[in-house]
Amino acid sequence: MSETKLREQICMYGRSLFERGLTPGSSGNISVRLPDGGWLVTPTNASMGFLDPAQISKLDGEGRLLSGAKPTKEIPLHSALYETVAEAQAVVHLHSTHSVAISMLPEINPAAALPPLTPYYLMRAGLTALVPYHRPGDLAVAEAIKGLAGKYSSVLLANHGPVVCGRDLEGAVFATEELEETAKLYLLLRGLNPRVLSPQQVDDLVATFGLTLPEIHDHDHEHH
């Protein structure tokens, strides 16, 4: 896909996410890798609903600004996934309400922030890791993501929001949306003892769709 088309895609998906209330104000950011190893990334203090293709920040492979506006300060979140998840070609970071909400709940398992409520959650987002709170812009949060060793393509930052990568921008956006919808389902069902997918049903999805899910000890996903 051409750079021009990628710039248009970033603006299109940014507007879509913003208009549906998935990332308020000037929060959230999107990046896409370029064939030469550089990136396109949304600018700092820019509303995702009103992005200008010409002002999208273009960085080289070392993260140096080549053209466009000053990039988001959340660059380390994106680079941590690009460095550790081999297939990552795009990253989406939102402040989506329900995903932020579950990141604050005491029962959340850091190795599997959400139970397997639906097949599409596993197929699009996989399992989601929860990393501890760090101040926005603190390099420690990027180190925490790197510490996951590329096993997760979706990560929740405690009290902050999700960071999700994909093989392309569409995939990263769809995975982020699936994570948010699953967080909403979890909050609706919390305390109601819902039926989640069984280990056998999860294994069937893994075998049928070639999923790669990290090993976790709390395999039955019980919550107390």
- How far apart (Å, rounded) are the C-alpha atoms in residues 216 and 96? 25
- How far apart (Å, rounded) are the C-alpha atoms in residues 115 and 183? 10
Count of beta carbons in the 10 Å neighbourhood of residue 47:
16
The H-or-E segment that residue 128 falls in is: strand 128-131
Long-range contacts of 107-115 (CB under 8 A, 24+ apart): 107/223, 107/224, 109/216, 109/218, 109/221, 111/214, 111/216, 111/217, 111/218, 112/216, 112/218, 112/221, 113/156, 114/179, 114/182, 114/183, 114/186, 115/186, 115/196, 115/221, 115/223
**What's phi and psi for 170, nearest 5 deg?**
-55, -45
Count of beta carbons in the 10 Å neighbourhood of residue 153:
27
Catalytic, out of 13, 120, 121, 152: 120
B/e letters for 54-72, b = 16+ CB within 10 Å, e = fewer, are eebbbbeeeeeeeebbebb
Asked if 13 is an active-site residue, the reply is no
Which residue numbers are catalytic?
120
